[in-house]
Amino acid sequence: MLVVLLLAAAIWGLAAAFGIRREIRWQAIGLLYVAVLALLVVLPEGAALRGWLGWSVGAWLVLGGAGLAVWGYAQLLGRLRMRARSAVQGVEAPAQMGTPALGAAALREAEVERYSRHLILREVGGQGQRRLRNAHVLVVGAGGIGSPALLYLAAAGVGRITLVDDDRVDLSNLQRQVIHRTEDIGMSKVASAARAIHALNAGVAVTPVDRRLDDTLAAELIPRVDLVLDGSDGFATRALVNRAAVEAGVPLLSASVGQWEGQISLFDPARGAPCLACLFPVEPAAGLAPTCAEGGVAGPLPGVLGTMMALETLKELTGAGMGLRGRLLLYDGLYGETRMIAVHRRPGCPVCGGI
Ligand SMILES: [Zn+2]
Quick: pLDDT tens for 194-247.
999 999 999 999 999 999 999 999 999 999 999 999 999 889 999 999 999 999
Q: Find the 351 Cα to ligand 1 centroid distance in Å.
A: 5
d(CA 40, CA 184): 79
Q: Structural domain boundaries of the chain?
A: 1-83, 111-342
What are the angstrom distances between the C-alpha of 111 and each of 10, 106, 165, 239? 43, 9, 30, 38
Q: Find the 349 Cα to ligand 1 centroid distance in Å.
A: 5
Instruction: Give me the residues paired with residue 259 across strands.
Output: 297
Q: What is the arithmetic mean of pLDDT over 102-106?
A: 39
Q: Find the 353 Cα to ligand 1 centroid distance in Å.
A: 6
Q: What is the arithmetic mean of pLDDT over 297-310?
A: 97
Confidence of residue 80 (pLDDT cuts 50, 70, 90): low
pLDDT at 64 exceeding the cut of 90: no
Q: Find the 165 Cα to ligand 1 centroid distance in Å.
A: 25
| Average pLDDT, rounded, for the chain | 87
Full-model pTM: 0.71
Confidence of residue 287 (pLDDT cuts 50, 70, 90): low
Q: Find the 240 Cα to ligand 1 centroid distance in Å.
A: 13
290 CB-contact burial (10 Å; exposed 0-12 / middle 13-18 / buried 19+): middle
* pLDDT tens, residue by residue, 337-347: 999 999 999 99
* pLDDT tens, residue by residue, 152-192: 999 999 999 999 999 999 999 999 999 999 999 999 999 99
d(CA 337, CA 339): 7
Class of domain 111-342: alpha beta
Q: Find the 348 Cα to ligand 1 centroid distance in Å.
A: 8
Q: What is the arithmetic mean of pLDDT over 78-105?
A: 43
Q: Find the 276 Cα to ligand 1 centroid distance in Å.
A: 6
Give pLDDT, residue 37.
Answer: 75
Q: Find the 97 Cα to ligand 1 centroid distance in Å.
A: 39
Q: What percent of the chain has pLDDT over 70?
A: 89
